[in-house]
Amino acid sequence: MKTAQAGTLESMDCIVTVTEAEKGRGISIVMEGASVARFGEAMVKATKDTLKSLGVRDIFVSIQDNGAGDLVLKARVEAAVRRLAGGKAA
Amino acid sequence: MAINAAGRNIPDSIPGYGEVRHFKGHDRRPPEGNRFGKRNRTAFNTRTDKTLPDIKAAISASGLKSGMTISFHHHLRNGDFVVNAVLDACAEMGIKDLVIFPTALFGVHKHLTKHIKSGVIRQIMGSVNGPIGQLASEGGMSVPVVLRSHGGRPRAVTSGEVVIDVAFIAAPTADKYGNLSGAVGRSACGSLGYAHSDAEYAQCVVAITDNLIPYPAPCIHIPQFFVDFVVSVDSIGDPAGIVSGTTRVTRDPMRLLIARNAAKLIEATPYFRDGISFQTGAGGISLAVAAYVRDAMREKGIKGSFGLGGITEFFVDMMKEGLFERLLDVQSFDLAAVKSIGENPNHVEISADWYANPWNAGCAVNMLDTVVLGATEVDRDFNVNVNTEADGALLHGIGGHQDTAAGAQLTIITTPLLRGRIPCAVDSVYTVSTPGEVVDAVVTEFGVAINPRRQDLINAAKEAGDVPLVTMDELIETAEKFTGPMSPVETEDRIIGVVEYRDGTVIDVVRQLKKK
């Protein structure tokens, strides 16, 4: 199973770990951190929007959050996905 | 149901709490009744030794039975062994259904979880810092936790609203006839201020010490004539958890900026003059404010009158330097404060009643010029939340927040605008701990918002020219720009916590969190 990671646990950052999933399994997201209780919906939306824009349909995403805003979260998701794909851009 | 003066919709009666007196404004409830106190008793010279062999013997002698109310103080903080030991003994003796009335519980009291689950403890009236608060928030207690401030608690005791059947007082030093001191002994904690009303009003008082010395003890904080029994144990606490070594001023540049903004505001007001009195907490930002104010006092040659509250080395040093005449100490936070209270007659122990009770002939907070306090959240009406976290869990007590805010001429809340993604300035706080009517300014790294009720302060700040003024609306908008909109906390209807204002009215309630 291939995985890739992006981010840190500095305040207002997060670590995003992505794991490849079989075709048709869809997107599953697991989140941890103090913001999840009040920003969980926003975090799910930011993650799904980013995956959609990258054309990813099947993936497992784990977010260890330490207060990242949507912009940071989106950037970490994108970086992790590109690393998983093996691109050098990340 | 009624909407109270803090804008909260509160039922008229709460299961496990009873009838609600609604909060109508910070000075609206007139005092009632008399001070009364405990049954009279006598002790002739045929009994000159109050010691008993162990805690169980003291529990038996005290007459403690299932369903009664027992109290504790929290001067041993997270180092305390006494609360757990007493409840273990009660459990072994088959005593159940107790109401425990501590001034506060800490992480070390997670041990009580089993006694809550087994029914030894029915209710907690007191601050629940950490794990017990989490347990209550998730619905783990059958009766709501009742939170009172440092002044509200002695008000409830001295007025008879809460009758303590047995007070268990952890004493760093005791003699066999019940004179108690917090200043000496290997578990020394300094002031025993929170325990005084309990000693004076409980039907029975049991002192528990790990330093039993010949009569009479030195530096007596609680005198023999309040104390019924004395028990000597191996250890009442872990010194590392009782006092911190030194409390440090923050080095975080953002927090220093907040502190600098707060100090600029203080210097801009008429309270910054000879005779200024001052209270801050022991947190990083608070101490940094004290450091900036100290520097300004030195520079302008200003001498203060007294420092109040939880006392730290920082305040001890300011008194030594002549920047304060006196320290009034209800709780000694570090080793230097503990040492000072035992040695310096200008470092005075005060009880919580003296410190903050709104129902006496005048408590110390009324003489305060300036207090610097923290918050988990503030809102458009300047209401402050110190009790619940962003996820809605009840994890902190009120402390002296309500009391000092109501008493001081200038009440300043310092807080970062954001903690991670969590905004600290919001439209409406999740829990009102302290009403906005007694809060004068909110100081953040993005500027200082002064309560529009205090036009005098706004004018003074404008005249000084160096206070970065903003409005509360601007702070809230700035925070939301960073964070985006928040989802509401999901709760059940059931009330698990009742937040009393210092006058005994209910200012807010905390509801059980929805299971995820």
Cβ-based contacts of A70 with chain B (< 8 Å): 484
Cβ-based contacts of A72 with chain B (< 8 Å): none
Residues in chain A: 90
| Interaxial angle between packed helices B82-92 and B55-62, expressed in degrees from 0 to 180 and rounded to the nearest 10 | 70
**CATH architecture assignment, domain B50-242:** 3-Layer(aba) Sandwich (3.40)
- Candidates A12, A14, A39, A73: best to mutate against B (most CBs of B within 10 A) is A39
Task: Give mean pLDDT in consecutive 10-residue pieces for chain B, a chain of 516 residues.
Answer: 95 97 97 93 93 98 98 97 98 98 96 98 96 97 97 98 98 98 96 98 98 97 98 96 78 95 98 97 87 97 96 96 98 95 97 98 98 97 97 96 98 96 97 98 98 98 97 98 94 97 98 92
CATH code for the structural domain at B253-489: 3.40.1080.10
Cβ-based contacts of B485 with chain A (< 8 Å): 42
| Residue, of A17 and B1, whose pLDDT is higher | A17
Flag whether residue B489 sits within 8 Å of chain A, measured between CB atoms: yes
Flag whether residue A38 sits within 8 Å of chain B, measured between CB atoms: yes
Provide the shortest C-alpha distance from residue A36 to chain B (in Å).
8
Flag whether residue B457 sits within 8 Å of chain A, measured between CB atoms: no
Cβ-based contacts of B253 with chain A (< 8 Å): none
Flag whether residue A42 sits within 8 Å of chain B, measured between CB atoms: yes
In contact, B145 and B138? CB cutoff 8 Å: no
Contact across the interface for A11 and B390, Cβ inside 8 Å: no
The CA distance from B82 to B228, in Å, is 17
CA distances from B380 to B377, B437, B499 (A): 10, 12, 20
Flag whether residue B390 sits within 8 Å of chain A, measured between CB atoms: yes
Provide the shortest C-alpha distance from residue A29 to chain B (in Å).
15
Q: Which residue among B390, B482, B485 sits closest to A69, beta carbon to beta carbon?
A: B482
Looking at residue A90, what is its pLDDT? 44
Cβ-based contacts of B421 with chain A (< 8 Å): 12, 35, 39, 65, 67-69
Helix (H, G, I), strand (E, B) or coil at B425: strand
CA distances from B184 to B110, B174, B217 (A): 28, 10, 10
In contact, B170 and B82? CB cutoff 8 Å: yes
Q: What is the pLDDT of residues A23-53, one digit of tens each?
A: 999 999 999 998 999 999 999 999 999 999 9
CA distances from B433 to A35, B50, B208, B403 (A): 22, 41, 33, 11
Flag whether residue A9 sits within 8 Å of chain B, measured between CB atoms: no
Flag whether residue A68 sits within 8 Å of chain B, measured between CB atoms: yes
Average pLDDT, chain A: 94
Contact across the interface for A37 and B421, Cβ inside 8 Å: no
- Candidates A35, A38, A39, A45: best to mutate against B (most CBs of B within 10 A) is A38
Flag whether residue A67 sits within 8 Å of chain B, measured between CB atoms: yes
Contact across the interface for A41 and B487, Cβ inside 8 Å: yes
Cβ-based contacts of B391 with chain A (< 8 Å): 34, 37-38
Looking at residue B36, what is its pLDDT? 84
Enter the tokens of residue B277. Answer: 């009195």
In contact, B127 and B396? CB cutoff 8 Å: yes
- Tell me what percent of the residues of chain A surpass a pLDDT of 70: 96
Q: Domain coordinates of chain B in residue numbers?
A: 50-242, 253-489
CA-wise closest residue to B229 among B8, B69, B60, B92: B60
β-partners of residue B369 are none
Contact pairs from chain A to chain B, CB under 8 Å: 47
B244-283: b (≥16 Cβ within 10 Å) or e: beebebbeeeebbbbbbbbbbbbbbbebbeeebbbbbbbb
Say what the pTM is. Answer: 0.95
Cβ-based contacts of B388 with chain A (< 8 Å): none
In contact, B467 and B417? CB cutoff 8 Å: no
Contact across the interface for A39 and B486, Cβ inside 8 Å: yes
CATH code for the structural domain at A3-85: 3.30.230.10
Q: Which residue among A35, A42, A70 sits closest to B420, beta carbon to beta carbon?
A: A35
**Angle, CA B208 vertex, CA B206 and CA B211 arms, to 5°:** 140
Q: Which residue among A34, A68, A70 sits closest to B390, beta carbon to beta carbon?
A: A34
Contact across the interface for B419 and A12, Cβ inside 8 Å: no
In contact, B382 and B472? CB cutoff 8 Å: yes
Q: Domain coordinates of chain A in residue numbers?
A: 3-85
Looking at residue A51, what is its pLDDT? 98
The CA distance from B100 to B124, in Å, is 5
